[in-house]
Amino acid sequence: MNETIKLLKNHRSVRLFEDRALSAEQIEAIVTSAQSAATSSFIQAYSIIGVTDQQKKDKLAELTGGQEYVAKNGHFFVFCADLFRHELIGEIEGKEVLPSLESTEKFMVALIDTALAAQNAAIAAESMGLGICYIGGIRNNLEAVTELLKTPKRVIPLFGMTIGYPMQENDKKQRLPYEHVYHENEYNQDLASYKEQLSIYDEFISDYYNKRTNGKRSDTWSSQMAQMLEKQTRMYMKEFVNKQGFDLK
Amino acid sequence: MNETIKLLKNHRSVRLFEDRALSAEQIEAIVTSAQSAATSSFIQAYSIIGVTDQQKKDKLAELTGGQEYVAKNGHFFVFCADLFRHELIGEIEGKEVLPSLESTEKFMVALIDTALAAQNAAIAAESMGLGICYIGGIRNNLEAVTELLKTPKRVIPLFGMTIGYPMQENDKKQRLPYEHVYHENEYNQDLASYKEQLSIYDEFISDYYNKRTNGKRSDTWSSQMAQMLEKQTRMYMKEFVNKQGFDLK
């Protein structure tokens, strides 16, 4: 196993950072690594906003539901799906691009492009000994986030990323069984084995929590997922996304 | 610049591979690296299908518009957004999860999760000296792709990835200017500078094509984008996505 694969496999979230800002060189290495990711038909449908203003960081921490590490870290990045420049180009070049920009397909392209870039940023940071945590919590209130970051139409802040010098690392959490996630030639058609894989995983995760909390917690992954998914969260998203010019047509 | 960052920055697509299959160890390293990526609230909303059956690969090459490297490579992966297991868990646990699974928010979560995993796969492969190319072309005809790979409801094949021993690498394409993509504290509010950045980039890209083709091609990035976006492609996507149980509510 080479060093890069070791690094990838060793990923864990970091939510407690030293009070030490990233250097300009580190930020540049992270952003240029992000930009080097593959992009669908060269579309480059994203922007990255680095937040250094402490008042804005405090506000973002509040908006994400009081996640302190959004305010306290080495640097806070916001990754945005971005078709704003493409609308502008349509105007400048005199081409009718709106039906395309407003399609579900281009929404998907922009999300995928942004996520590929972000994952490169995460790996670049981790390769420098920094820790990271994705912050989906900025989607709790995107109206307020877009106002704070002054993002124009056809831009959606998708998630944040806290980066910094780790003071404490989370445990690495075991993922779903390999054979449950990886299928050969066709999706597993045998529902019995599929369910069995989930059971085995549930037992594993339950044991893990049990040991980690000295018996105080022993929920399975399935129960955790069912409980999370029963709650209907961020149900305003469709309306917001539409308003931002992603019509999902 | 460390080795991992060098690797990230050196990414380029590979579309011509030796006739040499990946080993089981390589496939495992790629898939487990993918699984190690961050996942929103531990949801793990994706599956990966490895296609080894040559007939299926030929069919996929045809469906992507005759991309030969989809048929000829070391391994072909299809990355799928997947909430099928979560629906099953809802049933088993007796929780009403459908409104959540059918929300625009969870569609976004599934897409982002899948893309983060895929980018880890790409980097793992490249770290082993292999080349990769994302294949968005599988979205040309997802009806046929889902039939071929027998994916159930609440699963969407998002993109493929050809991996293999490179015989020829594409040029590395210069990305948008750093300051155009990276904003500090707020999105660039100065439209004049924003447009100027695009002009500089356009000139750069035009020069690049000019040199590379001995003057046969000199289009700008803007003209390339406008031309691409004028075409309305994959406009069936909303209907398909809805049919698969991603209602975008």
Looking at residue B169, its pLDDT comes to: 80
Residues in Cβ contact with B86 at an 8 Å cutoff, skipping those fewer than 6 apart: A225, A229, B43, B45, B97, B101, B154
Residues of A in contact with B159 (CB under 8 A): 112
- What would be the CATH architecture of the domain defined by A3-172? 3-Layer(aba) Sandwich (3.40)
Closest Cα of chain B to A29: distance in Å? Answer: 7
CB contact under 8 Å between A173 and B42, yes or no, is yes
What angle separates helix B24-35 from helix B104-127, to the nearest 10 degrees? 140
Distance CA A33, CA B9 (A): 5
**B124 token code pair:** 């793992």
Residue B170 confidence class, pLDDT cut points 50, 70, 90: confident
CB contact under 8 Å between A86 and B2, yes or no, is no
| CB pairs A-B closer than 8 Å | 342
Per DSSP bridges, beta strands A46-51 and B182-184 are: parallel
Q: Is pLDDT of B174 > 90?
A: yes
Q: Is pLDDT of B148 > 90?
A: yes
Q: Are A207 and A213 a contacting pair, CB within 8 Å?
A: no
pLDDT per position in chain A (249 positions), as tens? 899 999 999 999 999 999 999 999 999 999 999 999 999 999 999 999 999 999 999 999 999 999 999 999 999 999 999 999 999 999 999 999 999 999 999 999 999 999 999 999 999 999 999 999 999 999 999 999 999 999 999 999 999 999 999 998 888 899 999 999 999 999 999 999 999 999 999 999 999 999 999 999 999 999 999 999 999 999 999 999 999 999 999
Residue of A49, A136, A180 with shortest CB distance to B187: A49
CATH superfamily of B3-172+234-243: NADH Oxidase (3.40.109.10)
pLDDT over 90 percentage in chain A: 97
Residue of A96, A104, A237 with shortest CB distance to B238: A104
Residues of A in contact with B39 (CB under 8 A): 175
Distance CA A30, CA A124 (A): 6
Residue of B99, B185, B198 with shortest CB distance to A51: B185
A163-188: burial string, b at 16+ Cβ within 10 Å, e else: bbbbeeeeeeeebbeeebbbbeeebb
Taking the alpha carbons of B199, B205, B209, B212 in that order, is the dihedral positive or negative? positive
CB contact under 8 Å between A178 and B5, yes or no, is no
Distance CA B12, CA B169 (A): 7
Looking at residue A171, its pLDDT comes to: 85
Q: Structural domain boundaries of chain A?
A: 3-172, 178-218
Looking at residue B44, its pLDDT comes to: 98
Q: Is pLDDT of B72 > 90?
A: yes
**A244 token code pair:** 């931002």
* Residue B152: strand, helix, or coil: coil
Q: Is pLDDT of B123 > 90?
A: yes
Written as one letter, the residue type at B170 is N
* Residue A79: strand, helix, or coil: strand
What are the angstrom distances between the C-alpha of A87 and each of A42, A246, A247, B211, B222? Answer: 16, 12, 14, 29, 11
Looking at residue A170, its pLDDT comes to: 83
CB contact under 8 Å between A112 and B116, yes or no, is no
Preferred mutation among B182, B199, B223, B242 to probe A, highest tally of A CBs within 10 A:
B182
Residues of B in contact with A228 (CB under 8 A): 41, 43
Residues of B in contact with A128 (CB under 8 A): 2, 5
Distance CA B163, CA B119 (A): 13
Closest Cα of chain A to B67: distance in Å? Answer: 14
Going by the DSSP 8-state scheme, the letter that residue B187 receives in this structure is -
> Counting Cβ atoms within 10 Å, is residue A16 exposed (0-12), middle (13-18) or buried (19+)?
middle
Preferred mutation among A3, A89, A155, A180 to probe B, highest tally of B CBs within 10 A:
A89
What angle separates helix A191-212 from helix B84-93, to the nearest 10 degrees? 70
Q: Is pLDDT of B171 > 90?
A: no
Closest CA to A50 of A36, A25, A31, A63: A31
Distance CA B126, CA B133 (A): 11
Looking at residue B235, its pLDDT comes to: 98
Distance CA B85, CA B47 (A): 10
Closest Cα of chain A to B246: distance in Å? Answer: 12
CB contact under 8 Å between B8 and A123, yes or no, is yes
